[in-house]
């Protein structure tokens, strides 16, 4: 009873903070922006696999049929998706934040894109041709895109809330009326961003993009790439989930931009045949630390399915094994339950410490290759996902992790299963 009272008090302290973080409009908009662009990033990343396929016979076969044209075909798909991902993220952020303020989608998306382009330095080529460098719209421009989109929508909302807009007669069609309503906000955005652009041009940084990359993005990605920060974030996610809050979604609002930037850096290096720089990235999180879902619960599901004596947990194992193979573990978290369960919470919360540390170690010493940056869906089953991101050694390591997960959860599984079996036999009246 004392344990449950302590958990209730701890949950009461934790939940308000987590809820405020989860409901923050800027973090929610960033999360929505990445969700909206994720399909483009995933599909574009898949085109990176083929030119770098680990079997040379496949490369020779494709070269024999298509020459080098097929590599250009794949690179084009990658360049127009992952390499300009910031543009897609900006669109998603602007739309999400605009919807929150009840601003027409086009009136938020177009100014946000314009503001991003205004801050992006131009290149001058032959015959004085002007262009926007693709590299600035990839991982390097991610934080500039997020900040410029949020600021542009905030400016538009500030202007519109004060009624500073061109009002057209009721007889004017809605689409025309809306375009004129956004006229004054666009004027404000133009002048503000032009002043920002030329202001930074007079500094040693030369551009807002260089300033944000050096002052904000680079330190944050360096911190996010470290093992201690990764463990802290992962433990926080499992801790929140243990109290019924969707921890991965909450911490993902903060960490997704950082881990995505690290992943894109890896994919760019992989594409060029260079040393892949970042052990920690979005793939490391999804495929080595969250095997079977947050808390690496795939081992617990296997124990329920094959070794449970109680009918309750055996049935739960049958129900949860399918989703767990696709890294979805809500059935086990709320069905066992792990939420507010003083026994199963322990291995669930601590599991990231074990699996993040071990995965980092085997990658650091070279037993498993660094994840290559191919942004596979987070629902790709274990073993297959390891094969795609780190070759056969990645797949083997995931097999090892599955057995480690079984061993890690086993003592705690025994306690809850034994109690549930007693309840079914009438030898006890309450579950753990």
- What pLDDT is recorded for position 1? 41
Written as tens digits, the pLDDT of the chain (432 aa) is 444 455 556 556 655 666 676 678 898 898 888 888 888 888 888 888 788 776 677 788 888 888 878 888 888 988 898 889 899 999 999 999 999 999 988 889 999 999 999 999 888 776 777 788 887 898 888 889 999 999 999 999 999 888 887 776 766 666 666 677 778 899 999 999 999 999 999 999 899 988 998 888 888 888 888 999 889 989 988 988 888 777 787 787 788 888 988 998 899 888 888 899 999 999 999 899 999 988 999 999 999 999 999 998 999 999 889 889 988 888 888 888 888 788 898 999 999 999 999 999 999 999 999 998 888 888 889 999 999 899 899 999 999 999 999 999 999 999 888 888 888 887 655 555
- What pLDDT is recorded for position 395? 95
- What pLDDT is recorded for position 432? 53
Q: How many domains does the chain have?
A: 1
Q: What is the dihedral sign for C-alpha 91, 94, 97, 99?
A: negative
Flag whether 94 is in a domain.
no
Flag whether 379 is in a domain.
yes
| Two tokens, residue 168 | 């057209």
Give CA–CA dist 96/30, Å, rounded. 8
Give CA–CA dist 22/248, Å, rounded. 10
**Within a 10 A sphere around the Cβ of 165, how many other Cβ atoms?**
18
Flag whether 268 is in a domain.
yes
The tens digit of pLDDT for each residue in 308-345 reads: 999 989 999 998 898 899 888 888 888 888 887 888 98
Q: Which residues does 122 contact at the CB level (< 8 Å), separation at least 6?
A: 130, 131, 132
Query: Of 395, 398, 431, which is closest to residue 415 (Cα–Cα)?
Result: 431
Give CA–CA dist 197/151, Å, rounded. 14
End-to-end CA distance of the chain: 11
H or E element at residue 421: helix 384-425
Query: Of 392, 404, 312, which is closest to residue 355 (Cα–Cα)?
Result: 404
By residue range, what is the domain housing residue 299? 225-432
Q: What is the DSSP letter of 128?
A: G
Residue with tokens 């260079």: 274
């Amino acid at each position: 009873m004392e344990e449950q009272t302590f958990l209730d008090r701890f949950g009461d302290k934790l939940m308000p903070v987590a809820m405020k973080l989860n409901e923050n409009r800027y973090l929610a908009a960033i999360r929505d922006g990445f969700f909206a662009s994720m399909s483009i990033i995933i599909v574009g990343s898949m085109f990176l696999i083929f030119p770098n396929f680990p079997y040379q016979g496949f490369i020779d076969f494709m070269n024999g049929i298509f020459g080098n044209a097929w590599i250009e075909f794949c690179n084009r798909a990658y360049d127009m998706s992952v390499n300009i991902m910031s543009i897609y993220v900006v669109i998603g952020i602007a739309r999400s934040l605009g919807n929150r303020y009840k601003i027409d989608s086009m009136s938020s998306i177009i100014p946000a894109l314009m503001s991003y382009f205004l801050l992006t330095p131009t290149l001058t080529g032959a015959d004085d041709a002007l262009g926007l460098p693709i590299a600035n719209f990839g991982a390097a421009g991610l934080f500039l895109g997020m900040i410029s989109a949020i600021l542009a929508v905030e400016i538009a909302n500030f202007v519109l809330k004060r009624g500073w807009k061109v009002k057209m007669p009721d007889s004017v069609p809605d689409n025309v009326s809306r375009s004129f309503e956004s006229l004054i906000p666009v004027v404000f955005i133009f002048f503000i961003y032009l002043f920002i652009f030329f202001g930074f041009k007079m500094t040693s940084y030369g551009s807002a993009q260089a300033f944000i990359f050096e002052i904000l993005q680079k330190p944050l990605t360096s911190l996010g790439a470290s093992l201690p920060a990764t463990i802290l974030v992962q433990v926080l996610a499992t801790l929140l989930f243990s109290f019924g809050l969707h921890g991965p979604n909450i911490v993902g609002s903060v960490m997704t931009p950082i881990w995505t930037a690290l992943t894109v850096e890896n994919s760019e290096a992989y594409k060029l045949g260079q040393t892949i720089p970042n052990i920690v990235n979005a793939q490391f999180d999804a495929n080595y630390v969250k095997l079977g879902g947050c808390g690496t619960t795939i081992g617990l599901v296997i124990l329920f399915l094959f070794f449970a004596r109680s009918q309750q947990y055996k049935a739960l194992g049958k129900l949860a094994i399918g989703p767990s193979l696709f890294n979805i573990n809500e059935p086990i978290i709320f069905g066992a339950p792990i939420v507010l369960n003083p026994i199963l919470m322990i291995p669930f919360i601590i599991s990231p410490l074990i699996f993040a540390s071990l995965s980092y170690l085997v990658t650091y010493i070279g037993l498993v290759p660094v994840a290559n940056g191919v942004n596979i869906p987070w629902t790709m089953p274990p073993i297959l996902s390891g094969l795609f991101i780190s070759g056969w050694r990645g797949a083997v390591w995931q097999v090892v992790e599955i057995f480690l997960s079984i061993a890690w959860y086993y003592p705690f599984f025994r306690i809850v299963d034994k109690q549930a079996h007693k309840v079914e036999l009438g030898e006890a009246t309450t579950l753990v």
